[in-house]
């Protein structure tokens, strides 16, 4: 037990060291932007409430160091570092005079984005289900999705993992329905107190559908149903219904 | 007769020559015949250039802006396992900041349960060694409730936030996995762009029937953690 704890701690330290390395190594080229509005306000922190402590006048330039959510950390020619909001940065231009364009995370992004992530709570074959999913969109209508979940029931616990395709109808509308089709694995651990049945892992296929509803910014709700067909080694295959409601975001 | 033949041959050659002159264009129909420019240049007689300008259009390569929305770190604290005492816990957290207000967080942690008071008094052990391992994993949503700044002396201001967090997950304990709801609050201080320090108090609630009757257990954890933004 203690040895495992040590290994865990060591792995964590190695991970931290690996993560720190890029943060320490500097000397990279930053994007330079020019202010076209009368001035660009710099806040002390990445949030709407942080006070403005510095302004960059028109035609002044800033280097964009990095982005955190809807805020950009910038450095002025004098070396002053501060946070500029997404709305203000939209009015800045590149060195050749073209406007600065970036992903805004608004309603247009809901229609057309690359990645989605979310968490769900629901039911799987009568058991409580907790799951998460991630999707990669090829275009605004077709996406490749992967989801993993854990179900906790009275008679058995287990995990499910699925991978498949989703087709979204009317991605531009606030309520956009979708259909899904894919394959998966189900690992079931029957509760030992009942019958001494062994754990089993089986393949499955699913077909389903659902609806997503755009909330605000990068968020949307997603309700989904999947009908799973589990290919067992026994005489009969099994069916399992999965109902879930979740909260997701795109980026 | 001979002169006639010569005239005939000569006229054939004369007729053939201009035809042959077009031969080079026969196989290159796509290319338009380039006009002979040497003569035209001589006629225009442009003045010789003093400076030969070498203007090449500058290409602007737009460097990609790095997003630092992901936060990963380790934490250490104490977990009070209902009926089993309070014990050290350690864990891993990973968060994704979606907007300035909201973030998603995944947590994994572990602690070791001690003895219940019954076990201590009677000397009977209810759980095996591996069943005493308390492992939790959650997916939570956090809300930066009170963002602000913390000051150290005159010259340093650190951005900070008080946050609320809640979510769902599972707990492996006493030979079973239970559906677990968690909620809590924390305080985050960000001393540099890439580092953050957290203090979090979180309650994990799940239903258990370990002692015969089904009951809701509260397992409160207080922990301190360090995370790195990347």
Q: Compute the distance between CA of residue A108 and CA of residue A55 in angstroms, rounded to an integer.
A: 30
Verify whether the Cβ–Cβ distance A16 to B74 is below 8 Å: yes
Choose the mutation target among B57, B59, B60, B66 for the interface with A, i.e. most A CBs under 10 Å: B66
**Torsion sign (Cα): A217, A218, A221, A224:** positive
Q: Compute the distance between CA of residue A145 and CA of residue B86 in angstroms, rounded to an integer.
A: 41
User: How large is the average pLDDT for residues A110-118?
Assistant: 92
**pLDDT tens-digit readout, A104-113:** 888 888 999 9
For residues A80 and A142, state if they share a domain.
no
- Spatial CA neighbour of A187 closest among A161, A217, A222: A161
Final residue belonging to a domain, choices A81, A102, A123: A102
For residues A240 and A134, state if they share a domain.
yes
For residues A137 and A213, state if they share a domain.
yes
Q: What is the CATH number of the domain that holds A31?
A: 2.30.30.40
Q: What is the DSSP string of A30-69?
A: -EEEE--SSEEEEESSSSTTSPEEEEEETT-EEEEEEEET
Q: Do B71 and B229 contact (CB within 8 A), yes or no?
A: yes
Nearest to A68 among B69, B133, B141 (CB): B69
Residue A96, pLDDT score: 84
Verify whether the Cβ–Cβ distance A12 to B230 is below 8 Å: no
Residue with tokens 């991605």: A171
Verify whether the Cβ–Cβ distance B98 to A217 is below 8 Å: yes
Task: Provide the Cα torsion B167, B169, B171, B176; round to 10°.
Answer: 140
Range in A14-23, B101-110, B187-196 with the lowest mean pLDDT: A14-23
Q: Do A53 and A43 contact (CB within 8 A), yes or no?
A: yes
User: How large is the average pLDDT for residues A56-70?
Assistant: 92
Verify whether the Cβ–Cβ distance A44 to B149 is below 8 Å: yes
Q: What is the SS3 assignment for B73?
A: strand
pLDDT at A82 over 90: yes
For residues A141 and A200, state if they share a domain.
yes
Choose the mutation target among B61, B179, B192 for the interface with A, i.e. most A CBs under 10 Å: B179
Verify whether the Cβ–Cβ distance B65 to A31 is below 8 Å: yes
Residue B209, pLDDT score: 86
Residue B230, pLDDT score: 85
Chain B: give the shortest CA distance to residue A247, in Å.
Answer: 9
Residue A80, pLDDT score: 94
**pLDDT tens-digit readout, B150-203:** 999 988 899 999 999 999 999 999 888 889 999 999 999 999 989 999 999 999
Q: Do B105 and B225 contact (CB within 8 A), yes or no?
A: no
Q: What is the CATH number of the domain that holds A155?
A: 2.40.160.20
For residues A121 and A228, state if they share a domain.
yes
Q: What is the SS3 assignment for A22?
A: helix
Strand partners, A130: A121, A150
**pLDDT tens-digit readout, B209-223:** 888 888 999 999 999
Final residue belonging to a domain, choices A102, A132, A149: A102
**pLDDT tens-digit readout, A191-227:** 766 566 788 899 999 999 999 999 888 889 999 999 9
pLDDT at A102 over 90: no
For residues A142 and A229, state if they share a domain.
yes
Question: How long a stretch of residues is chain B?
Answer: 230
Residue with tokens 């300008």: B53
Residue A142, pLDDT score: 95
Number of domains observed in the structure of chain A: 2
Q: Do B194 and A23 contact (CB within 8 A), yes or no?
A: yes
- Spatial CA neighbour of B208 closest among B180, B182, B184, B169: B180
Could you tell me the two tokens for A139? 């275009």
Q: Do A164 and A142 contact (CB within 8 A), yes or no?
A: no
For residues A120 and A238, state if they share a domain.
yes
For residues A122 and A61, state if they share a domain.
no
Range in A68-77, B12-21, B105-114 with the lowest mean pLDDT: B12-21
- Spatial CA neighbour of A242 closest among A120, A137, A154: A120
- Interface size, chain A vs chain B, as Cβ–Cβ contacts under 8 Å: 118
Residue B89, pLDDT score: 96
Confidence of residue A25 (pLDDT cuts 50, 70, 90): very low
Confidence of residue B55 (pLDDT cuts 50, 70, 90): confident
Q: Compute the distance between CA of residue A85 and CA of residue A58 in angstroms, rounded to an integer.
A: 16
Q: What is the SS3 assignment for B34?
A: coil
Q: Compute the distance between CA of residue B108 and CA of residue B90 in angstroms, rounded to an integer.
A: 9
Chain A: give the shortest CA distance to residue B60, in Å.
Answer: 7
pLDDT at B27 over 70: no
Note down the domain range covering A203: 109-250
Nearest to A12 among B92, B170, B175 (CB): B92
Q: Compute the distance between CA of residue A71 and CA of residue B65 in angstroms, rounded to an integer.
A: 12
Query: Going from the N-terminus, what domains does chain B have, and what CATH number goes with each?
Result: 2-44 (no CATH), 70-229 (2.40.160.20)
Could you tell me the two tokens for A193? 């107190």
Verify whether the Cβ–Cβ distance B97 to A47 is below 8 Å: no
pLDDT at B39 over 60: no
pTM score: 0.75
At a CB cut-off of 8 Å and minimum separation 6, what does A129 contact? A120, A121, A122, A123, A149, A150, A151, A152, A242, A244
For residues A91 and A123, state if they share a domain.
no
Final residue belonging to a domain, choices A45, A74, A102: A102
Choose the mutation target among A2, A13, A23, A194 for the interface with B, i.e. most B CBs under 10 Å: A23
Verify whether the Cβ–Cβ distance A130 to B168 is below 8 Å: yes
Residue B54, pLDDT score: 74
Q: Compute the distance between CA of residue B218 and CA of residue B213 in angstroms, rounded to an integer.
A: 16
Which run of H or of E encompasses B15? helix B2-21
Q: Compute the distance between CA of residue A120 and CA of residue B104 in angstroms, rounded to an integer.
A: 13
pLDDT at B33 over 50: no
Nearest to A66 among B60, B65, B133 (CB): B65
Confidence of residue B37 (pLDDT cuts 50, 70, 90): very low
Question: How long a stretch of residues is chain A?
Answer: 251
Q: Compute the distance between CA of residue A117 and CA of residue A132 in angstroms, rounded to an integer.
A: 7
Burial of A243 (0-12, 13-18, 19+ CB in 10 A): middle
Pick the residue from chain A with its C-alpha nearest to B89.
Answer: A5
Q: Compute the distance between CA of residue B74 and CA of residue B196 in angstroms, rounded to an integer.
A: 11
- The overall longest dimension of chain A from CA atoms, in Å, is 77
Range in A101-110, B26-35, B220-229 with the lowest mean pLDDT: B26-35
For residues A207 and A118, state if they share a domain.
yes
Confidence of residue A127 (pLDDT cuts 50, 70, 90): very high
What's the angle, vertex CA A88, arms to CA A86 and CA A91, rounded to 5?
A: 110
Could you tell me how far CA A224 lies from the centroid of its own chain?
17
- Spatial CA neighbour of B208 closest among A152, A150, A149: A152
**pLDDT tens-digit readout, B123-146:** 888 888 899 999 999 999 999 989
For residues A126 and A238, state if they share a domain.
yes
The mean predicted confidence, pLDDT, of chain A is 87
For residues A119 and A11, state if they share a domain.
no
pLDDT at B8 over 80: no
**What sections of B110-153 are H helices per DSSP?**
117-122
């Amino acid at each position: 037990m203690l040895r495992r704890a040590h290994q865990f701690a060591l792995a964590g330290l190695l991970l931290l060291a690996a993560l720190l390395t890029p943060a320490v190594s500097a000397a990279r080229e930053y994007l330079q932007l020019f202010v076209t509005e009368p001035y660009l306000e710099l806040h002390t922190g990445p949030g709407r409430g942080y006070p403005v402590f510095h302004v960059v006048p028109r035609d002044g330039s800033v280097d964009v160091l990095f982005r955190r959510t809807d805020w950009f950390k910038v450095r002025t020619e004098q070396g002053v570092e501060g946070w500029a909001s997404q709305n203000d940065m939209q009015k800045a231009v590149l060195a050749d005079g073209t406007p600065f364009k970036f992903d805004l995370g608004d309603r247009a992004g809901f229609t057309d984005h690359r990645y989605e992530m979310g968490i769900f709570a629901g039911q799987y074959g009568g058991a409580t289900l907790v799951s998460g999913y991630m999707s990669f969109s090829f275009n605004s209508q077709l996406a490749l999705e992967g989801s993993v979940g854990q179900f906790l029931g009275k008679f058995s616990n287990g995990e499910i993992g699925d991978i498949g395709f989703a087709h979204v109808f009317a991605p531009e509308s606030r309520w956009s329905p979708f259909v899904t089709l894919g394959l998966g694995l189900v690992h079931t651990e029957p509760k030992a107190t009942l019958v001494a049945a062994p754990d089993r892992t089986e393949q499955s296929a699913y077909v389903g559908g659902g609806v997503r509803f755009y909330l605000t910014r990068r968020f949307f709700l997603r309700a989904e149903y999947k009908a799973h067909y589990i290919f067992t080694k026994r005489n009969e295959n099994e069916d399992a219904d999965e109902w879930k409601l979740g909260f997701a975001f795109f980026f | 007769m001979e002169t006639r033949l010569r005239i005939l041959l000569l006229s054939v050659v004369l007729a053939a020559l201009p035809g042959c002159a077009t031969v080079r264009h026969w196989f290159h129909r796509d290319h338009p015949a380039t006009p002979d420019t040497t003569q035209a240049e001589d006629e225009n007689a442009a003045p010789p250039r003093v400076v030969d300008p070498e203007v090449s259009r500058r290409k602007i390569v737009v460097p990609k802006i790095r997003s630092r929305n992901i936060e990963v770190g380790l934490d250490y604290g104490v977990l009070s396992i209902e009926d089993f005492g309070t014990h050290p816990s350690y864990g891993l957290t990973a968060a994704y900041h979606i907007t300035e207000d909201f973030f998603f967080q995944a947590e994994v942690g572990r602690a070791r349960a001690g003895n219940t008071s019954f076990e201590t008094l009677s000397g009977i052990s209810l759980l095996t060694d591996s069943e005493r391992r308390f492992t939790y994993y959650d997916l939570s949503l956090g809300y930066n409730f009170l963002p602000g700044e913390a000051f150290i002396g005159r010259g340093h201001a650190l951005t900070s936030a008080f946050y609320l967090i809640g979510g769902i997950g599972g707990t492996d304990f006493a030979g079973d996995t239970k559906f677990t709801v968690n909620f809590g609050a924390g305080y985050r201080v960000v001393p540099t762009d890439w580092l953050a320090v957290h203090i979090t108090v979180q309650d994990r609630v799940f239903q258990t029937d370990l002692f015969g009757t089904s009951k809701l257990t509260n397992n409160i954890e207080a922990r301190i953690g360090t995370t790195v933004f990347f």
